[in-house]
Amino acid sequence: MAPAQRYNDGRCDRQGRFWVGSMNESITPGGSLYRVDPDGSLTHCFGDIIVPNSIAFSPDGRFFYFADTRRFAIWRFDLDIDSGVISDQTVFAQTTGRPGRPDGSCVDSEGFLWNAEYAGGQIVRYAPDGRIDRIVALPVTHPTSVCFGGPAMDTLFITSGSMHLAKETATSEPLAGAVLAINVGVKGLPEPRFGSPSKSGDKS
């Protein structure tokens, strides 16, 4: 990694490969997406990223989701299960015209993508075709990421930030910076471990 860069978002796919995005500390284009295979080999997938986020995978492992927060877009790629090669990049969702920007995401058992809209004060659930299925308003302006957990895997945990809030806004948001939990009525999926394929990613 180049000087003045850091990693910002990462997740394992259904085959146990680790995907991670890097970014410039100056919040300028120059970050990259990398894939780390279970044997330790590193692949540079693409560059020119400003703020990498929203790394997530469909339940069957055949689609890869990725957002560049500063470009107000979430993309979907085809993902070859065997090789880990991504292709056919398409715009999945855009937040242009809304106050929020796409931050962290996760996928539920129905294949819907849940995305935290930083600066938007809400979580958006997208259907597999990209249409908005549900919007969950939050008591915080800066949700940063989401994941499922709990005994039944039906609790959505939401991290939030307190930085970059105006003083008056911070005073009115006592939960800013907290981890929130909401029962959303659908179940999530267990997160795969590095080097260990998950059942939801098996081709059989």
Residue set of the binding site for a divalent metal cation: 53
Q: Does residue 129 have an active-site annotation?
A: no
Task: Give me the sign of the Cα torsion angle 86, 112, 161, 71.
Answer: positive
Strands (E), 38-162: 42-49, 52-57, 63-68, 73-79, 86-94, 101-107, 113-118, 122-126, 132-137, 143-149, 155-160
Identify residue 5 by its one-letter amino acid code.
Answer: Q
Please report, in range form, the residues annotated as the binding site: 6, 8, 53, 103
Instruction: Count other C-beta atoms under 10 Å from residue 26's C-beta.
Output: 10
CA distance 34 to 14: 16
CA distance 112 to 90: 17
Please report, in range form, the residues annotated as the binding site for substrate: 6, 8, 103
Annotated catalytic residue: which of 39, 103, 129, 154? 103
Which residues are part of the catalytic machinery? 103
